[in-house]
Amino acid sequence: PNVAFPAEEEIRISYGNKGNEELLYLYGFVIENNPNDYLMVHYPKEAVQLVNCAETKSLLLEEQKLQLRWLLPASLLLEGSSNESSLALDGCKKTSSQVSGYSWSGHRRLPSYMNHFVFPEDLMAALRTIAMNEEGMHCVTCLLKELSESGCQRQPSEEDIKAAIWEVCGNAGALQLLVDLLTAKTMELEDGSGTKAHDTQLLEEFSKTILASVEQQSDLSEHQHNRFELEYSMTKNRWAATVYRRGQKHLAHCFLQEAQNFLQLCLNEE
């Protein structure tokens, strides 16, 4: 039904919890420091075919129902190793159900840093599988064969495979691969457009240009006003694209820092 609104009444429109990529694509605007922003990381499928034991690893990825593309929400960083507030909650986040998958024979214990580990388990499971060396592959195969030949006489489940790979590999190889992926992502984002600091400088210049243009608008002729509207629109579009780009660089840098921190912690423990 049609709803009539009183004249000059303020109307609020909710766009939902969308990241800047969706807002820019769907509505043509962005939000600075958008808490719903996210970074997409992926491992090229064709690259899996170039690693050792590619065919077996592809099969293991399929049996674990793992994707090679992941969205990392900005909110994950609130629980990270670089966030002081997360350390104050250390030991309070992970429940027994969340970490039960780390048990196989009791040989490998749950890492101490898992209480503020920010990366999704599906991402880590996929990278553990890809990063496995030939010796690791042999050990995983033996564990799964042992299970299938035991009194249970059943095929290993998705969780069995994940647990076996964790038991053999731990996190070191997966975290090193993640550092490499995030380093490449950061370089890709900065290629041709510079660093986050450069984007910040551009945004300051855009803001000055927009402010100066608005102040001069009242003195413009009709022709000049039309030209102003076009230039203003183009400047706003460039501003929005730069805000989005800077946000992506910020997230890539933060997640890279987290991956590097966790890799160092992992190496210290293993």
**How far is the first Cα of the chain from the last one, in angstroms, to the nearest whole number?**
65
Looking at the domain assignment, is residue 237 inside a domain? Answer: no
User: Mean pLDDT score of the chain, rounded to an integer?
Assistant: 84
On whether residue 224 sits in a domain, the answer given is no
Interval 210-251: pLDDT, tens: 676 666 666 656 655 566 566 667 778 888 999 999 999 999
Domain assignment of residue 57, yes or no: yes
Residue 143 lies in a domain: yes
Q: CA separation (Å) from 63 to 57, 125, 132, 197?
A: 10, 12, 16, 43
Give the number of domains in the chain. Answer: 1
90 belongs to a structural domain: yes
Chain segment 54-105, per-residue pLDDT in tens:
999 999 999 999 999 999 999 999 987 766 544 444 444 444 334 444 555 6
| Residue type for position 208 | K
Decide if 110 is inside a domain.
Answer: yes
**Joined tokens for residue 162:** 């994940």
Q: Is 184 or 8 the better-scoring residue by pLDDT?
A: 184
**Which amino acid, 106?**
G
Percent of the chain with pLDDT over 90: 55
Q: What is the pLDDT of residues 170-208, one digit of tens each?
A: 999 999 999 999 999 999 999 999 999 999 998 888 777
SS (H, E, C) 13-79: CCCCCCCHHHHHHHHCCCCCCCCCCEEEEECCHHHHCCCCCHHHHHHHHHHCCCCCEEEEEHHHHHH
Strands (E), the chain: 38-42, 69-73
- Which residues have CB under 8 Å from 33's CB, separation 6+? 247
**Residue 150, in any domain of the structure:** yes
Domain range spanning residue 174? Answer: 38-187
Residue 256 lies in a domain: no
